[in-house]
Amino acid sequence: MTFAMTRRHLMAQSALAALAGGGSALAAKSESPQTTTTAALQATQRYDVVIVGGGSAGAVLAARLSAEAHRRVLLLDAGPDYAPGRYPDLLKNANLVAGSPEHDWHYHSSDSARLGHDIDIPRGRVIGGSSAVNAAVAMRARPADFARWAKRGIEGWAWPEVLSAYRAMENTAWGDESWHGRSGPFPVRQRTAEENTPAMRAFVSAAEKVGLPHVADFNGAHQHGVGPYPLNVIDGVRINTGMAYLTADVRARSNLTIRGGAEVDCVLIEKGRANGVRLVGGETILSGEVILSAGTLGSPAILMRSGVGPTDHLNELGIATLADLPVGKRLQEHPFFFNVYALKAPALAMTPAAGAIVWTRSQQAASDDLDLHISGTHLIDPKASPTGAAIVLACAVTLPKSNGSLRLASRDPRAAPLIRYNFFEQETDLDRMVEAVQLSREIGRSAPFAGLVDHEMAPDGAVRDGKTLRQNIVANVAGYQHPTSSVPMGLESDKGAVVNASGAVFGIAALRVVDASIFPDIPSVATNLTTIMLAERISAHLVKSPSLIFKNS
């Protein structure tokens, strides 16, 4: 029996329950609507920098680049712009994840041919982006993740530099001073065992019983083992980047303009240089430089509509190629599978929802890699359990070998892109997911956790033999909501790269991409903290650049 339980069933429906109690393709004629002359642009205002997307990266860039009063910065976002203290409860409540349809892009993958089902892809459509709708996990990537970047020849992202940036962005009163920051804009709070539910504490104890070491600080020197999450949550409120970086003082700057409800169609490019953007409604905006921070799914779509992408694909849509680059060809995501348990008394408490995690290695992992997660949360509708309470032990392969892809469905900017995650194309990814599920179930059978479990809900208890389990995993796999690498950074000689180490697009001047899309490969952990760090480091480089001052005003 297949237990059909998608991430949106588990998380979005529980959010709503808690509160309650396309266009067609263009003809093949080649045209370049994104190319125009400066004289033809009738923009009423001009900016030094236009940032497209106000999420985990864009909010950081807007705050940092506008810190110097002479630089005129415009931040655009397709979703609404809320002042820091005016986010609705659906977005503030850290126990509700992906539960606000009016702040979502409503994307899904096109994987049914391979997996037998498509995958829901909740993405935040609001200032704060997906940091306003995620599980608020505040875990850093590991030194081994950045070592892989270095192996591609990418400079400027060595671990000492990266650690310094992580520390500078963080504010926490907890942890070793050499690993943690005290006065940065982004709050990180270590959840304690006492704060967690009885079931979550039992999950941690059972994981230790099966041999996993206890980790007191996943953002410290050691990550292998089990322990409570670090989160960007204060008093139950998810602190997104719109709150943390676009504060009242930042918003009061006369040189910073923030516009919500401003969806971007394409970048305006003249003679190989970006000089502004065009909105979906036709409005054009001039700028000295354009930075795309629309996310792993949004930024590549804008690039391709602008004539930056694979020529063969752009030709299919009648878009003239201005830079033939492999946009969308290296999309990655962590495959995610739900091992769910109905709870019995005295373990019916389900808040706080995000509690603890196992971070370990598979038998196939390199010696310095940790490639498996088992994430313990209560992000499930309690009505889904016959006992009225449940816990999800969600298994993930965090260093997948399989690559997906992203392409345009249409030249229409309102048409969602075609997203293929292509999970388990590499058989080793499925092998490791089976290993993660087997470990999760071993924890599920171990004291003291087993004493709080009424029964296993997913996969079905009858799913035991290897072949049946593999089939069940494929039939029910979801995404961890950590897509990356659709516009990967690398050396200009790297045929798989689109941008350089500071996000500059090869072949197009004054155009950058700064968000998780430029990760050269996916890190072995939730991506939000690393995306913020990336924006901090690149913005520190850009504030020194005299090119970010408009010359034609």
pLDDT band at 461 (very low <50, low <70, confident <90, very high): confident
Q: What digits encode the pLDDT tens for the residues 218-244? A: 999 999 999 999 999 999 999 999 999
pLDDT over threshold 80, residue 550: no
Look at residue 62 and tell me if it is in a domain.
yes
Residue closest to 124 by CA, chosen among 249, 267, 243: 243
**pLDDT confidence tier of residue 11, bands split at 50, 70 and 90:** very low
Residue 463: pLDDT band (50, 70, 90) is confident
pLDDT tens-digit series, residues 93-130: 999 999 999 999 999 999 999 999 999 999 999 999 99
Structurally, the chain folds into a number of domains equal to: 1
Cα–chain-centroid distance for residue 316?
29
What pLDDT was estimated at residue 345? 92
For 99, phi then psi, to 5°, come to -115, 20
The two tokens of residue 190 are: 């270590």
Residue 21: which pLDDT band, with cuts at 50, 70 and 90?
A: very low
Residue 103 lies inside a defined structural domain of this protein: no
Furthest-apart CA pair in the chain: how many Å?
Answer: 73
Per-residue b or e along 147-174, where b marks 16 or more CB atoms closer than 10 Å to that residue's CB:
ebbeebebeebebeebbebbbbbbebee
Residue 551 has what pLDDT?
42
Across the chain, mean pLDDT equals 92
d(C-alpha 93, C-alpha 87), whole Å: 10
In angstroms, the CA 158 to CA 163 distance is: 9
Q: Say whether pLDDT at 44 is over 90.
A: no
Half-sphere exposure of 91 (CA within 13 A, CB side): 29
Range 313-327 average pLDDT: 98
The model's pTM: 0.93
| 11 within a domain of the structure (yes/no) | no
The distance from CA 121 to its chain's CA centroid, rounded to whole angstroms, is 11
Secondary structure (DSSP) of 398-421: SS----BEEE-S-S-TTSPPEEE-
pLDDT of the residue at 109: 98
The CATH number of the domain holding residue 81 is: 3.50.50.60
Do 119 and 279 touch, CB atoms closer than 8 A?
A: no
In 206-353 the beta strands, taken as DSSP E runs, fall at 225-228, 230-231, 233-234, 237-238, 256-259, 264-270, 273-279, 284-292, 308-309, 323-324, 335-343
Give 441: exposed, middle or buried? Use CB within 10 Å, 0-12, 13-18, 19+: buried
| 328-384 per-position pLDDT tens digit | 999 999 999 999 999 999 999 999 999 999 999 999 999 999 999 999 999 999 999
* Residue 244 belongs to a domain: yes
Q: Cα-Cα-Cα-Cα dihedral of 15, 359, 124, 3, to 10°?
A: -50
pLDDT above 90: residue 10: no
* Residue 166 domain boundaries: 45-89+126-189+239-332+404-423+484-553
Pairing of strands 335-343, 390-397: antiparallel
Confidence band (pLDDT; 50, 70, 90) for 24?
very low
Q: Is residue 453 part of a domain?
A: no
In a domain, 257, yes or no: yes
Assign 13 a pLDDT band (cuts: 50, 70, 90): very low
Q: Is residue 214 part of a domain?
A: no
Classify strands 186-187 and 170-171 as parallel, antiparallel or unpaired.
Answer: parallel
Alpha-carbon span 127 to 122, nearest angstrom: 15
Whole-number Å distance between alpha carbons of 380 and 462: 22
Amino acid at 256: L
Check residue 544 and give its pLDDT: 82
Name the band, by pLDDT with cuts 50, 70 and 90, for residue 545.
confident
For 548, half-sphere exposure in the C-beta direction (CA atoms, 13 angstrom radius) is: 27
* pLDDT for res 548: 63
Helix (DSSP H) and strand (DSSP E) numbers for the chain: 15, 26
Q: What percent of the chain has pLDDT over 90?
A: 88
